[in-house]
Structures are given as C-alpha cells and as structure tokens.
Amino acid sequence: MTTDCIFCNIVNGNTDTIFLYEDNTLVVFKDINPHAPVHLLVVPKKHIRSINDIEPSDHAIVSALIGAGKNMASQTGIAASGYKLVFNVERGGGQMIFHLHLHLLGGWKR
Ligand code: 5GP
Ligand code: ZN
C-alpha cells in the first residue's frame, strides 16, 4: 500500500469506486475517462509500478489479470466481437498511473 497512489486507495476501498469484480488478488472497475464503449481496468491489490517491475513471483498476479480481463470481456458481452487487453508501460508507453493495471477495451461498432 502506497498512500499517495490513487489505485492503492481504490483497491483498498478508500474511494467510492464501484468494483465490477473483486477477489483476493485484484479488482475490476470502469475507467473514469473511457476510450471505448467498454473500458475497464483490471488492477492488482499489490502495488507494482509497471510491467518493468514484475518479479517471477508476480507472474501468477499477471496471469490472474489476464484471466480476469478475459472473464470480464465475456461478462460485458464483447468477447465474440473482440477486444484489446493493454498494459501501458512507463511514460513513453502512455502509462500515467504508476500502479500496474490492465486495460480492457472493446464494444466498438464495426
Ligand atoms: P494509464 O495511462 O496509466 O495506462 O491508465 C490510467 C487510466 O486510469 C486512465 O485511462 C484514466 O482514465 C484512469 N483513471 C485515472 N484516475 C482514475 C480514477 O480515479 N478512477 C478511475 N476509475 N479511473 C481512473
Ligand atoms: Zn499503488
């Protein structure tokens, strides 16, 4: 837990953010500034800065993020039409919140 980290505060329930899914490892909530009809964030409870910082012992967390992204794609009805799962890594990769998160984006009309 890093108290000045917005996503630590969200995953610890210190904000009014509604979780669409939660388990011991991660939470899922809507992006506040969506870039797609469906834009969810899959966020580990553990504070990890970015993909650059994952250790081998974190690989199960990363796997869980991807599995939750897949499940939420199905739950939100975009699995068949298709979607993106995106990790932005560091400033050059578009990362603005330095607490690891997976973007689930989809639901565009063809
Ligand atoms: P990044 O650019 O770091 O990969 O993505 C961070 C995402 O978090 C952005 O899409 C931004 O809209 C979203 N975001 C930032 N602050 C908040 C917040 O307080 N609540 C929610 N739900 N999303 C946020
Ligand atoms: Zn954090």
Return the percentage of the chain with pLDDT > 90, whole number.
95
- In angstroms, the CA 20 to CA 88 distance is 22
Q: What is the mean pLDDT of residues 97-104?
A: 98
Q: What is the pTM of this model?
A: 0.97
Ligand nearest to the CA of 2: 2
Per-residue confidence band for 3, with pLDDT thresholds at 50, 70 and 90: confident
pLDDT exceeds cutoff 70 at 1: no
Ligand 1 atom at minimal distance to the Cα of residue 88 = 4
Identify which of 51, 87, 97 to mutate to test ligand 1's pocket (most ligand atoms within 8 A of the CB).
97
- Strand spans (E) along 45-100: 83-86
List pocket residues of ligand 1, CB cut-off 6 Å.
Answer: 6, 17, 29-33, 41, 88, 94-97
